[in-house]
Structure 1
Amino acid sequence: MRSSYTGEFDFSKYLKTAEGIDPILYIGHVTAVNGLEIESRGPRSVIGEMCTIRMPDSAETLAAEVVALDGTTVKLTAYGDTKGLEVGCEVVASGSVLRVPVGSSLLGRVIDATGKPCDGLGEIVPETYYPAVASPPDPMKRLPVVRRVATGVRAIDAMLTVGKGQRLGIFAGSGVGKSTLISMIARNTDADINVIGLIGERGREVLDFINRDLGKEGLARSVVVMATSDQPSICRLRAAYVTTAVAEYFRDKGKDVMLMFDSVTRFAQAQREIGLANGEPPAQRGYPPSVFDMIPKLLERAGTNNKGSITAFYTVLVDGDDLNEPITDKVRGTLDGHIILNRRLAQVYHYPAIDVLQSISRLSKRVTGRQTQKAVGILRTLMASYANNEMMITTGIYQKGNSAEIDAALEKHAAIEDFLMQEEYEKCPLDETLKKLSELSGVAIPPEEYGEAPVVPSLGAAEIAEESE
């Protein structure tokens, strides 16, 4: 039957696709295997390229990533168990770096370090693919942070107000409540979407976090990326990049994304393992130089661009409760603020154990009104006065009436402590938080300062200098 179509067929889109395909298959061969580190002669590849290793006498394959090149020797790190590998196994280059399948179907799902679902709910239908490793947004195209984001946590919303697109660190030793605070924010925030990275967590804690801490309501508007502590270092490393890539996709869709990353410390430890295995010299506390190069490149990807925002909370496991250890110091200097969790507060069941006086949100003045700032200043002054004289107060040395400042701090102390404490599953709306802040401080906060973008007067030069410190 003869076709009636007489027009010309447009081959341009097919030609464009064909131009991007390399018809040559580049293959190398394994020359050495040491744990998860593999050396091969060839194939021709670049750093970060994904390769497939064909197992001997089997149809099974092993995914690996190129992490170093030395002449004709290619060094790879495996994404799985290397048991069964032998010298001579074929290494096939993919011709591409790790790409993450992204789309609205990711919501409510749990994926692994390669972007594949691991929750047993079937395959994810991607709308497009994003590179796992990417450059931060152009600084000249970032929109300014001028809108407040509500976390539902009183101590943060009142005393450490966060702007949409701001990046903060949560610093604490083990067992002080970092993951619990992250789960509170995930459930209570008014952001459009949560993207949660669980990097190097215990296997038990992952399911507990999803089922108990996050819950069905929280998971429905979240994407969880996981790489447990027993998985190879390359999985823990790449899960961090996959988490960020997923957040970038939703930001590019114009969404206000809440990125929660637990933890940067385990990301750094994963890179330390890979770096040392490939001959990098140890520097500060055994961390090679590449760790301190990678941290800002990862963290700078969050924030605003010209479409949406990523507000990020990064937890840092402080080694030995030393806030000046290398990873803590590097992260604190990169972010827009830090929240310190105090072990002493946790020991007396003051949760969340946020040490307000040691914490700071560098952009809080940009997203709060004058009266709100005044109220916060009064409470911080009262808290500082009590902290500076706590020993005299608790031992009975101080006598009431000797200092009006200390008397005021003593009178308000219990009410302030009660205000800053919050049950794990308690949500506090922003308007209630600000009303209570107003009552405690005695400062009237006008209605126009209750909104997402309160009226904030232009900052003077002195205030800008103070804010950047």
Structure 2
Amino acid sequence: MSSILQEIEEQIANVSSSVEKSNVGTVREIGDGVARVEGLSDVQLNEMIDFGGGLFGLALNLEEGEVGVVLLGDSTHVAQGHECKTTGKLLSVPVGENMLGRVVDNLGRPIDGKGEIEAADVYPVEKIAPGIIKRKSVSVPVQTGIMAVDAMIPIGRGQRELIIGDRSTGKTTIAVDAMIAQAQQNKAAAEGRLKDHKPLYCIYVAVGQKRSNIARTIQTLENAGAMENTCIVAASASDSAANQYLAPYTGCAIGEYLMDQGKDVLIVFDDLSKHAVAYRQVSLILGRPSGREAFPGDVFYLHSRLLERSARLSEDAGGGSMTALPIIETQAGDLSAYIPTNVISITDGQIFLETDLFNQGIRPAISVGLSVSRVGSAAQTKAIKKVSGTTKLDLAQFRELQAFAAFGSDLDEATKSKINRGQRIVELFKQGQYSPKPLEVEVAVLWSMQNGYFDDVDVDRIKECQNALEEFFANRKADLLQLIADEKSLTDAVVDGLNQALKDFKTSWK
């Protein structure tokens, strides 16, 4: 009997030692930040592999005889024959409210020299998006402070709105303006000037940018007082392709934690074209077959599984939300290229910036014809919805008629009035960077335009008139602006106040 027990014990020992050995692998080949490892028979996709010396890898290719592992850090000490072992953990990053105000790398480690971050929890970088039952419809606006966006292409909390255009057309500026606007609204709410305001926390993911550009963006946010509500995840151009590939998912995990706490989050991915290129680089080194434009076949899934995680959760699921502003850079305005069409089909609309408009000094250079918000007026306050009613149509008609007017043909009165109105709308929508406007000022200006108060002003003096009007409201009609901010709709008292204020202003302004 004892010999049988001894035999069983030996078999158990052999099995356990073989299991142990199966979780230790040997590096067969290493190069370009990718290790091919043999012997890891018990490994999961996206599992962290420990190479010792604080270096971890990510198991991305599970093949029959080997595992393709992307190394996340300095791998100079790893050579052929080096041993590594599985950790049993999927790649996770630290999350928590302490991340706000900090700059972190693609693994959530601080890189701003302000000390360690005390994390509240650890979240996996890859997570299944919330299902339909957990979600609710988008109806609360993200007030960006950019008049053209708030009036014509409104963004709602929980939406995914793509910002797309050529290089140097102001894509990042729109996202940064929206982040600065949130800081201004939080300040107004703290001072009691904004009622029923739920703060919107921001996450900015910089992928493949020069470090000087990332530093400039951080400085801009700090100068505007927006950094304390913002977390920056940076994977610069000097980082490895694997780090650039992971950064958006890390930012998403940090945002998801806040969303699960019932908070509202705005996440900017700047930009996903570089993210796709980094993923293509990793995939080609791993030996995955390439398809169109040398991208791997799953490049659509790369962005869809990232952007689908943006949602507005129902009250039962915590009531938080995550709004995504992905940025895509086009080549010569080509919207029909591979990655742009992919991301357009995943998102709920796009803000398309045109190089020609930008060069004409129309900034933000938003193309009215190609920009759209699939949430629409559901994501606008009643006041903005009322005053911006036909603005987008007026501007689109103006762009069409402008082409005819260029030929110098005789125009009828109706066409002339549409062109005149369009020219004034274009001037009013010009806005300096990093100067978002509060809701009440937008309503006052748009209402003045809609009711013809700018019609008798020369086009080249529209901006001067608008600035004077905003100053007049701020200095002499602050109570009316406060009423608009409180009511958020055009009540009789608001309309009467606006009528009287505009009459007073027109008599004083020359």
Give the structure-1-normalised TM-score: 0.85
Q: After superposition, where does 1:31-110 map in structure 2 within 5 Å?
A: 31-43=28-40, 44-54=42-52, 60-110=53-103
Seen in structure 2, the aligned counterparts of structure 1 residues 32 and 273 have a Cα distance that, compared at 3 Å, is: same
Matches within 5 A, 1:371-382: 372-373=384-385, 375-382=387-394
In the alignment, structure 1 residue 328 sits paired with structure 2 residue 340: yes
Aligned pairs for 1:372-411 (under 5 A) are 372-373=384-385, 375-395=387-407, 397-399=408-410, 402-411=411-420
Residue by residue over 1:255-299, the C-alpha shift from the partner in whole angstroms, topping out at 9 and shown as x without a partner, is 111111111112211221122222222222111111112211110
SS of aligned partner of 2:128: coil
Cα pair distance change 1:120/1:368, threshold 3 Å: closer
Match of 1:116 among 106, 109, 116: 109
Do 1:32 and 1:87's aligned partners in 2 also have CA atoms closer than 8 Å? yes
The superposition leaves residues 408-454 of structure 1 with CA deviations (integer Å, 9 ceiling, x where unpaired) of 2222233211221111132211121122222222399xx99977987
Query: SS in structure 2 opposite 1:304?
Result: coil
Q: Distance in 2 between matches of 1:146 and 1:212?
A: 30
Aligned residue identity for 2:412: S
Higher fraction of helix: 2
Deviations 1:79-133 (A, max 9, x none): 1243343111111222111111111211100111111111111111111111111
User: Are the counterparts in 2 of residues 78 and 232 from structure 1 also a CA contact under 8 Å?
Assistant: no
SS at match of 1:331: helix
Tell me how far apart the structure 2 counterparts of residues 27 and 329 of structure 1 sit (CA, whole Å). 43
SS at match of 2:133: helix
Report the alpha carbon displacement of residue 356 of structure 1 after superposing the two structures with TM.
2.4
**For residue 69 of structure 1, what is the amino acid of its counterpart?**
L
**Match of residue 464 from structure 1:** none
AA aligned opposite 2:246:
R
Unpaired runs of 5+ residues, structure 2, are 1-18, 186-198, 454-481, 491-510
Q: Deviations over 1:46-102 (max 9, x none)?
A: 111111224xxxxx3422111101123111111124334311111122211111111
| Corresponding residue for residue 323 of structure 2 | 311
String of CA shifts for 1:146-166, please: whole Å, max 9, x gaps.
212211111111111111111
**2:268 maps to what in 1?**
260
Residue 197, structure 1, aligned to residue 195, structure 2:
no
Partners of 1:185 and 1:366 lie apart in 2 by 19
Please give the secondary structure, in 2, of the residue aligned with 1:330. helix
Match of 2:248 in 1: 240
Match of 1:277 in 2: 285
2:356 matched to which residue of 1? 344
Assess if the C-alpha contact under 8 Å between 1:195 and 1:222 holds in 2. yes
Q: What corresponds to 2:142 in structure 1?
A: 149
The Cα offsets for residues 205-249 of structure 1, whole Å up to 9 and x where unpaired, read as 111110135536111111111101121111111111000011111
Give the drift of 1:357.
2.7
Identify the match of residue 446 of structure 2 among 430, 437, 457.
437
Distance 1:265 1:104 in 2: 29
Q: Tell me the number of residue pairs that the alignment of Structure 1 and Structure 2 aligns.
A: 424
Q: Which residue of 1 is the match for residue 298 of structure 2?
A: 290
Distance change (3 Å), C-alpha of 1:129 and 1:61: closer
For 2:346, the aligned partner's letter is T
Counterpart residue identity of residue 409, structure 2: Y
Q: CA deviation at 1:38?
A: 0.8
Change (3 A) 1:272 1:453: farther
Choose 93-102 or 205-214, whichever is displaced more. 205-214
Which digits, 9 at most, give the CA deviation of each residue in 1:352-374, with x for residues without a partner? 11122321111122233778556
Q: 2:166 aligns with which of 168, 173, 186?
A: 173
Cα 1:375–1:76 change in 2 (3 A) is same
Residue 349 of structure 1, CA deviation: 2.2
Distance (Å, rounded) in 2 between the aligned partners of 1:451 and 1:163? 20
> Residues 360-379 of structure 1 correspond to what in structure 2 (within 5 A)?
360-368=372-380, 372-373=384-385, 375-379=387-391
Q: Residues 82 and 100 from structure 1, CA distance in 2 versus in 1: closer, same or farther, beyond 3 angstroms?
A: closer
Match of 1:433, as an amino acid? Answer: E
Residue aligning to 1:9: none
Alignment partner of 1:427 out of 400, 422, 436? 436
Distance 2:279 2:446 in 1: 43
Matches within 5 A, 1:124-139: 124-139=117-132
Larger radius of gyration: 2
1:218-229 aligned at under 5 Å gives the runs 218-229=226-237
Residue-by-residue CA offset, 1:181-226 (whole Å, 9 max, x unaligned): 2111111134421111111111111111101355361111111111
What is the match of residue 465 of structure 1? none
CA offset digits 1:315-334 (Å, max 9, x no partner): 01113321011111111111
Output the CA distance in 1 between the equivalents of 2:483 and 2:249: 39
- Matched residue SS, 1:390: helix
Query: 1:124 aligns to what SS in structure 2?
Result: coil
Distance 1:452 1:137 in 2: 34
1:180-191 correspondence to structure 2 within 5 Å? 180-189=173-182, 190=185, 191=199
TM-score with structure 2 setting the length: 0.78
Separation in 1 of the partners of 2:84 and 2:452? 68
SS in 1 for 2:161: strand
